[in-house]
Chain A
Amino acid sequence: MTNWTNRIATVLMWFTALLVTSVFLWIITDLLRQGITHLSWEFLVTAPSDAGRSGGIGPILISTLLILGVCLLTSVPIGVPTAILLAEFSRKGHWFGRLIRSSLDVLAGVPSIVFGLFGNAFFCFYLGMGFSILSGGLTLSCMVLPLLIRSTEEGLRSVPDDYRQAATALGLSDAATLWRIILPAATPGLIVGLILSISRALAETAALLFTSGYADRMPQSLMDSGRSLSIHIYDLAMNVPGGEAQAYATAMVLIALLLIINVATSWASTRWLHGRISL
């Protein structure tokens, strides 16, 4: 009897794996087949017209990159020092470190639409930035912060203590130790954190809907509204009858970007960190 349950379990496990794999392949081949037919250099550089039914995604790519730029330029200067504090300067169990850490844990769990609500209320209205690339980028910056801090912290923790002892023995100051020894050694962790943050930010839609806005024209400044790739997909799929083909192509571009980033991450983490950071 036990033998039978064992056999049934084995069959079920293989069946599950097969099922999940085939659904996944279904999605991927569908996206690839439909997406690739509309993909061209032309598509990447021209502006969308007729609400996106024709033309390309040039300005949308630019807006996406700008949003990403704002996001990284603001999250790195906050995230890296926080990670340094948590990894290097806070004793285990100290209240300050614990408080920061649990606050970041909560932040990591906040749903993206709530970030959207917050960004809309705080950046767009309270700080008067309106629907703009700046608001969108700043909102995403809050969102990726926990991710960025965690992997940078991991990177710092992977620096052997010998380095620190050696530096102390040489009589280096804190700042010099940090700047000349620990940070260079922790760069890989920081890079992995950056890559993860980028992929999270690229994939995000809900937090941007009401912060960076919908405008699909070429942004003139950071205060302009700008549409990200993900919002473009959403808009074409939901609001533009006949926008399906373009949505497929845009999804292809987005997935290709993410895939490149994903491969880069696993390459970077196996090369530098020996798999220390789990994705």
Chain B
Amino acid sequence: MSRLPSDTPLKWGLRIIAAIAGTIVLLIVLFLVIEAIPALQTVGLKRFFTDPSWHPAGGTEAGTFNLIPMLVGTILVTAGAILIAAPLGIASALFCQYYAPLRLGKLYRHLIELLAGIPSVVYGFWGLVVLAPLIRQWQPPGQSLLTAILILALMILPTVMLLSESTLRSVSHSYIQAANALGLSRWAIIQSVVLPTARGGIITAVLLGAGRAVGETMAVLMVAGNVVQMPDNLFAPVRTITANIALELGYAMDHHRSALFVTGLMLMAIIVMLVGFAHWINKGHVYD
């Protein structure tokens, strides 16, 4: 591509503005760190994992800061959602590309795009008023790990599906033609040619879906029950890191507030790791 030439005042103006855009991330990290420092200094990172419970309102001495139940909550909810959404999302993508007649496939993709556009608060609301009561009839209290997993799975399914589908679309038609000429059945072609070729992209799709699940707040907040505890079964209420911030930031003071920013930093770290991993997988070689 030919680009416009030379250094001009215009270019410098643009550079300054772009630098502002680029600094926002730094600003976010900076303010998270600034706000987190009091807690990190006086409470220390160790106590977030070793304290007996999460009662941060009592101040540095009397308060306790154990994050593990909420971390476990986040991990369980995310893992559960991925376990459901990944197979359904990938199957949906395969359906669209290789099983559905052309028009139906397009229609189905539009449907998933719509699904992707529904705000998380609406999913949460629907989960709260429709899904949770259904689960309550079966196993009270209804607002539970399971409900959160189901709603979250529904939310990240479009991410997994749409990203996988765009990867599948980039699988060269000639590979499929070749496999067809070898007399392979549809599933055999998918299994031996399509999936190995698209593996990197599909893993990326799942990882980005996981990233969304970790960061999701509203839907989980509304359906998970928000009790700080280690869940002992699928029907027990849990609280995630994100929901905890949303619940407590409004009234948190001093070290409590600072502790919430520590959890924000942790979230950032998890997301950056997931996204970084996804990029790395996508760039790396995906051969057998």
Q: Select which of B88, B211, B221 is within 8 A of A19 by beta carbon.
A: B88
Which one of B5, B31, B120, B246 lies within 8 Å of A122 (CB-CB)?
Answer: B31
Residues of B within 8 A of A175 (CB): 8, 10
| A48 beta carbon closer than 8 Å to chain B | no
| Structural contact, A5 and B242, CB atoms closer than 8 A | no
**B4 to A164, Cβ gap below 8 A?**
yes
Given contacts A13-B91, A105-B275, A116-B249, contact A145 B211 (CB under 8 A): no
Give Cα distance in the complex from A104 to B24, angstroms.
9
Chain B residues positioned under 8 Å from A103 (CB to CB): 21-26
Q: Give the distance to chain A from B273, nearest Cβ to Cβ, in Å.
A: 10
- Report the separation of the CA atoms of residues A16 and B89 in the bound assembly, to the nearest whole angstrom: 9
Q: Mark B35-76, 1 if CB is under 8 A from A, else 0.
A: 100000000000000000000000000000000000000000
Find out whether the CB atom of A202 lies under 8 angstroms from the CB atom of B21: no
A91 at the interface (CB under 8 A from B): yes
Is there an interface contact between B88 and A113, defined as CB atoms closer than 8 Å? no
B146 close to A (CB within 8 Å): no
B119 touches A202 (CB 8 A): yes
B197 within 8 A of partner (CB): no
Per-residue interface assignment for chain A, residues 21 to 33, with 1 indicating a CB less than 8 Å from any chain B CB and 0 otherwise: 1011001001100
Q: Which one of A3, A109, A174, A259 contacts B271 once the chains associate, using CB atoms below 8 Å?
A: A109
Contacts A111-B267, A258-B119: A117 and B94 contacting too (C-beta < 8 A)?
A: no
Interfacial residues of chain B within 135-168, with CB under 8 A of chain A in the complex: 154, 157, 162, 166
Q: Does any Cβ of B come within 8 Å of A225's Cβ?
A: no
Whether A264 is near chain B, meaning CB under 8 Å from some CB there, is no
Q: How far is the CA of A125 from the CA of B48 in the complex (A)?
A: 26
Closest to A122 in B: B31
Is B187 within 8 A of A91, CB to CB? no
Cβ of A14 within 8 Å of any chain B Cβ, yes or no, is yes
* CB neighbours of A13 from chain B (8 A): 91, 94-95, 98-99
Contact present for B117 and A258 (CB under 8 Å): yes
Q: Is the CB of A109 within 8 A of B272?
A: yes
Q: A30: which B residues are within 8 A, CB to CB?
A: 126, 130
In the complex, the answer to whether A100 meets B185 with C-beta atoms within 8 Å is no
Instruction: Note all chain B residues with C-beta closer than 8 A to A2.
Output: 185, 188
Q: Is the CB of A117 within 8 A of B10?
A: no
Cross-chain contact B121 with A6 (CB below 8 angstroms): no
Distance (whole angstroms) from the CB of B204 to the closest CB of chain A: 13
Instruction: Tell whether, in the assembled complex, residue B28 and residue A81 are in contact, meaning their CB atoms are under 8 Å apart.
Output: no
* Complex partner residue of A88 from B3, B21, B87, CB under 8 angstroms: B3
Among B12-20, B172-180, B230-238, the stretch in contact with A: B12-20
Are B190 and A210 closer than 8 Å at their CB atoms?
A: no
Pick the most buried of B4, B5, B87, B94: most chain A CB atoms within 10 A of its CB.
B4
Verify if A230 is at the interface (C-beta below 8 Å from B).
yes
A10 with B15: CB separation less than 8 A: no
Question: Once A and B bind, how many residue pairs between them come within 8 Å at the CB atom?
Answer: 259
Q: How far, in angstroms, from A14 to B105 measured CA to CA in the complex?
A: 11
Closest to A258 in B: B117
**What's the Cα separation between A192 and B75 when bound, in Å?**
35
| Contact partners of B10 in chain A: CB under 8 A | 174-175, 178
In the complex, whether B129 has a CB less than 8 A from a CB of chain A is yes
* A278 CB contacts on chain B under 8 angstroms: 166
| Neighbour of A81 across the interface among B17, B190, B211, B271, CB < 8 A | B17
Which of A31, A161, A173 contacts B1 (CB under 8 A)?
A161
CB atoms of A117 and B264 under 8 A apart:
yes
| Chain A window 82-116, contacts with chain B (Cβ cutoff 8 Å), 1 for yes, 0 for no | 10111011111000100110011111011111111
Q: Do the beta carbons of A121 and B31 come within 8 Å of each other?
A: yes
In Å, the complex CA distance between A79 and B17 comes to: 8
- The answer to whether A82 and B187 touch across the interface, beta carbons within 8 angstroms, is no
The answer for the CA separation of A82 and B31 in the assembled complex, in Å, is 23
A116 to B246, CA, bound (A): 9
**Max count, chain B CB within 10 A of own CB: residue among A10, A14, A114, A174:** A114
* In the bound complex, CA of A126 to CA of B24 (Å): 15
A19 and chain B: residue at smallest CB distance: B88
Question: Shortest Cβ distance from B78 into chain A, in angstroms?
Answer: 12
Q: Are A237 and B125 in contact (CB under 8 A)?
A: yes
Please tell me if B193 contacts chain A, counting CB pairs below 8 Å: no
Complex interface: chain B residues within 8 A of A157 (CB): 1
Give 23 pairs: A residue, B residue, CB < 8 Å, sorted on A.
Answer: A6-B186, A14-B95, A19-B88, A20-B115, A30-B130, A31-B122, A78-B17, A90-B3, A96-B15, A106-B272, A113-B246, A116-B245, A116-B246, A149-B21, A157-B1, A164-B4, A174-B11, A204-B119, A237-B125, A237-B128, A251-B122, A259-B114, A278-B166
- B interface list, Cβ under 8 A from A: 1-6, 8, 10-11, 13-15, 17-28, 31-32, 34-35, 87-88, 91-92, 94-95, 98-100, 108, 111-126, 128-130, 154, 157, 162, 166, 185-188, 190, 211, 214-218, 221-222, 242, 245-246, 249-250, 260-261, 264, 267-268, 271-272, 274-275
Which 3 A-B pairs give the minimum distances between C-beta atoms? Answer: A111-B215, A203-B119, A9-B187
